[in-house]
Amino acid sequence: MTADIPIVAIATAPGRGGIGIVRVSGTTIAAVIEGVLGPRASQLVPRRALYAPFLNDCGAEIDRGIALYFPGPHSYTGENVLELQGHGGPVVLRMLVARCLQVGAEIGLRIAEPGEFTQRAFLNERLDLAQAEAVADLIDASTETAARAAVRSLSGEFSRRAHALTAALTELRMLVEATLDFPEEELDFLQKSDANGRLERVRAELNQLLRHAQQGAVLRDGMNVVLVGAPNVGKSSLLNALAGVDVAIVTSQPGTTRDRISQQISVDGIPLNVIDTAGLRAAIDEVERLGIARTLAEIERADVVLHIVDQTQTDNDSAVLQNVQQRLPRAVPLLTVHNKIDLVPTAARVLNDHVYLSAQTGVGLDLLRNELKRVAGWEQQTSGESLILARERHLQALSIARDHLALAADHIGRRDAALDLLAEELRLAGGAIGAITGQVTADDLLGVIFSRFCIGK
C-alpha cells in the first residue's frame, strides 16, 4: 500500500440498498471533485452536504445524491476525503467508481485495497492500531455486548489503559537506570522510591487488563462448544433447547445425526458456536463412519466439549469417554451433561463438572449456561463497561509483558539485584504493551491486520 497515491472504493456493503457510498481519499483530489460534480464543484463547502448530480464524461447524470467533502487532517483518513452518497444499486455505484478513476487518472487514483482507508487513518495518527482493529471488530460484532465492547476499544479505552501501563513502566525504568550511576546507594534509593510497590501495582493492573482482554476475546471470536456422546443420548435435543429452535432433526432412531450441525447462540452476550455431531459407536455404514470421523475432528478444534450421557441408561459409557479424552486437546474443559433427568428421580444440579438436566423440559439448562460462562473465564462480577474486544495478538502481547514483569519482580526482590537486567525486563515489557497500540509495530504485521478488513473500510 502506497500512502501518497489517492484511492477510491465503494464504502457500503455489496448488493442492492437504498443508499450507496463511494469514498475517495488522497492529498490532492480536486480533479475528482471537479470531474464528478462539474459546475456544482464550486459550491462544495467542507463538512456541508451538497445535493447535486454526479456526471459522466458527456455531462449526463450517472446518479443524483449527496456530496460531502472533508479536508485533511480533519477527516477519517487524515487526508482530503470526498464521499458521494447516491442510490445503492451495484451497477450505478460501479459506474460512479469508473468515473472517479477516469477523472482521477492524472493524479494516479486507484482502487483501494482492503482496509486501506483505515490503515491511512492509522498512519496519519487519526487512530492507533487497537482503535483501527476495533473498526473491523465493530462491523463483525455478533452480539450487542460485543458491539459495545468494540465501541469502547474504538473510543480509545483499551489504548488509554495500555498507554498508562507503558508510562508507568517507563517511569519505573528511568528510576532504576538512574540508580546505576550511584551503585553504593542503589538499593536504599529504590526502597525509598517504593520501586517494588510501583512494580506490583503495574503487575496488578496488567493482570486485570489481561483478564478483561481474555473475556473480550471470547466476545469477539465466540467459543466452540462441541456436543459428543453415544447415539440417542439427546445431543440434538440439547442443541435445539439451547438454540430455542429446531435446528437438528430429533427421532427415537439412534444415529439420526450423520454430519456436524452448527448453530450460533448468545448466552448473556457471549457468542457460542454449538456444534452437534454424529454419535460415537461402531459405524454400521460408510456414511456414519465419515460422520464419526468428523466428530473426532471437531473435538480437536473445540474450546469446550460437552459429553452427553443418558441418565436413564445404566450401561457403562467409558468407551465413549475414553475416545473423547484421547482426542481432547490439553487444557480444553470437558463437562459431562447427564440428560433426561425428567425420566428418572434426579434433581437438576451441578457437581464437579457434571451437569444434570433435561433437554426435553428445559430443567437445568440455566445451570449449563452458567457452567459454559464459567469455563469461558467469564467473571460475573466484571462490569460490562470494563470489557474490551481483544484479539489473539493483544493477548500474546499482554502475556509476554506479564512474563517479563515476573522476571523483573524476581530481580528487584534480591539483595544482589542486577539492576541492568531489571531495567531490561521493564523495557521489554513496555515494548510488548506498546505493540498493542502500534507504538512498536512491524510493517508486515500491519499488512496482515488491514488485509482482513473489507474493501472500502
Q: What H or E segment, with its residue span, contains residue 225?
A: strand 223-229
> What pTM did the predictor assign?
0.73
Give, in order, the Cα–Cα distances in Å from 129 to each of 1, 124, 365.
16, 11, 40
The answer, yes or no, to whether residue 135 has pLDDT greater than 70, is yes
Please write the tens of the pLDDT for every residue from 260-284.
677 788 887 788 888 887 665 544 4
Q: Mean pLDDT check: name the lowest of 33-42, 230-239, 348-357, 412-421.
A: 412-421
Tell me the CATH number for domain 223-302+304-375.
Answer: 3.40.50.300
Tell me the CATH number for domain 134-218+388-438.
Answer: 1.20.120.430
> Which residue has better confidence, 167 or 191?
167
> Which residue has better confidence, 83 or 418?
83
**What is residue 455's predicted lDDT score, i.e. its pLDDT?**
74
**What is residue 289's predicted lDDT score, i.e. its pLDDT?**
57
The answer, yes or no, to whether residue 319 has pLDDT greater than 80, is no
Other CB atoms within a 10 A radius of the CB of residue 94 amount to 13
> Which residue has better confidence, 322 or 422?
422
The answer, yes or no, to whether residue 238 has pLDDT greater than 80, is yes
**What is residue 190's predicted lDDT score, i.e. its pLDDT?**
63
The answer, yes or no, to whether residue 250 has pLDDT greater than 70, is no
| CA 72 to centroid of chain Cα atoms | 30
> Which residue has better confidence, 306 or 325?
306
Cell 471537479 appears where? 34
**What is residue 71's predicted lDDT score, i.e. its pLDDT?**
95
Rounded Cα gap, residues 13 and 20, in angstroms: 8
The answer, yes or no, to whether residue 255 has pLDDT greater than 60, is no
**What is residue 282's predicted lDDT score, i.e. its pLDDT?**
46
> Which residue has better confidence, 47 or 242?
47
The answer, yes or no, to whether residue 76 has pLDDT greater than 80, is yes
Rounded Cα gap, residues 409 and 196, in angstroms: 7
> Which residue has better confidence, 129 or 269?
129
**What is residue 77's predicted lDDT score, i.e. its pLDDT?**
93
- Does the structural domain 7-127 have CATH classification 3.30.1360.120? yes
Helical axes 144-155 vs 129-140, angle rounded to 10°: 160
DSSP code, position 454: P
Query: Which sequence spans correspond to the domains of the chain?
Result: 7-127, 134-218+388-438, 223-302+304-375
Average pLDDT, the chain: 82
Rounded Cα gap, residues 392 and 221, in angstroms: 9
Q: Mean pLDDT check: name the lowest of 58-62, 217-221, 289-293, 323-327.
A: 289-293
User: DSSP assignment of 178-247, as one string?
Assistant: HHTT-GGGHHHHHHHTTHHHHHHHHHHHHHHHHHHHHHHHHHHH-EEEEEEESTTSSHHHHHHHHHTS--
Rounded Cα gap, residues 203 and 211, in angstroms: 12
Please write the tens of the pLDDT for every residue from 329-351.
777 888 889 999 989 888 899 99
Q: How confident is the model at residue 211 (pLDDT cuts 50, 70, 90)?
A: confident
The answer, yes or no, to whether residue 16 has pLDDT greater than 90, is no
DSSP code, position 108: T
Q: How confident is the model at residue 443 (pLDDT cuts 50, 70, 90)?
A: low
**What is residue 10's predicted lDDT score, i.e. its pLDDT?**
94
- Average confidence (pLDDT) over 192-207: 86
